[in-house]
Amino acid sequence: MAVVSGDLRIVEDSGETVTLYGSGTIIEDDSENVVFNDTSTTTETQVSAYQPNAFDIDDPYVIIPASSDDTADNEICPNIDTASEWARKEIVQAFGLELIPETMQNHYQSEQKLSEFVKLAVSLYESIMGEIDVQTASTDIKDAEKKKAQAIGLTNSVRRINFKDDKVLTREQAAVMLYNLAIALGTPAERHTARYSDIRDVSRRATGAVGYVQYLDIMVGNEDRFEPKGAFIREQGIVAVFRLYNIIENI
């Protein structure tokens, strides 16, 4: 007899935090195991099965039905109902990996300021590479996170960027910072041409970065437009960092 049917989530409840491990659709199940098509990793996964919603510290792996409302998601990731529908799944997964700073776990459709994205980028870098050595950073920078960002070259070649002015990032500025982050994490420094109808609106120094992040599929445009001077949005940053994390983990 099926424990659950259709869409599901696999979570671990430690008694203090709830972590998402995967979500997908059941392929087959019995009284002890469930094999499901894990849409978060596009692989088939087998886990021990427990009754839906049986959150028990002694039995941490729990299968719960996917909900048509936001209740289950909000139990796993705070305030996920403030995110756009397209971004929710990847934000939940990024939260489970502890990639989202606490100050960014809300208002996911708000505009992304430089200081916020710095925290997000530093969080990703240190989760993979370990603590950043700030000895090469400017002594004029006092903020610890911004020091780390400069040390790994996060803002290199970013047009009109200033740590003292905590302005909302444009999409092309974010693309250059994501390119710098990807290179710092070890992705190959390759040249790729961006294919957008508004590519002429992209600053010359950002063109290569826009092509690179499109190639990696960590930051893409709306249909055939990139909108380089438009505001970068918090959920876009989280999704981009999560996708970059997956790329680095599979190199």
Residues 57 and 84 in one domain: no
For the entire predicted model, the pTM comes to 0.71
Domain count across the chain:
2
Residues 92 and 162 in one domain: yes
Query: Looking at the predicted structure, is the pLDDT value of residue 37 above 70?
Result: no
Q: 48, 75, 102 — which closes off a domain?
A: 75
User: What is the pLDDT of the chain when averaged over all its residues?
Assistant: 77
Residues 33 and 11 in one domain: yes
Three-state SS letters, 33-80: EEEEEECCCCEEEEEECCCCCCCECCECEEEEECCCCCHHHHHHCCCH
Give the mean pLDDT of 58-67: 40
Q: Is the residue at 125 inside a domain? A: yes
Give the Cα separation of 17 and 14 in Å (integer): 6
Per-residue pLDDT at 149: 92
Helix-strand-coil split of the chain, %, nearest 5 = 35, 20, 45
> Which structure tokens are listed for 206?
């950002």
Q: 36, 59, 75 — which closes off a domain?
A: 75
Strand-pairing partners, residue 64, are 9
Residues 94 and 134 in one domain: yes
Overall size of the chain counted in residues: 251
Q: Residues 67-106: pLDDT tens digits?
A: 434 455 565 788 998 999 899 989 988 998 889 999 999 9
Residues 57 and 99 in one domain: no
Residues 101 and 54 in one domain: no
Judged by phi (left if over 0) then psi (alpha if -120 to 50, else beta), residue 20 lies in beta
Query: Looking at the predicted structure, is the pLDDT value of residue 218 above 80?
Result: yes
Per-residue pLDDT at 210: 96
> Which structure tokens are listed for 9?
């989530």
Residues 198 and 141 in one domain: yes
Q: 75, 94, 122 — which closes off a domain?
A: 75
Residues 190 and 212 in one domain: yes
Residues 96 and 69 in one domain: no
- Domain containing 24 equals 7-75
Residues 106 and 27 in one domain: no
Residues 84 and 141 in one domain: yes
Residues 17 and 93 in one domain: no
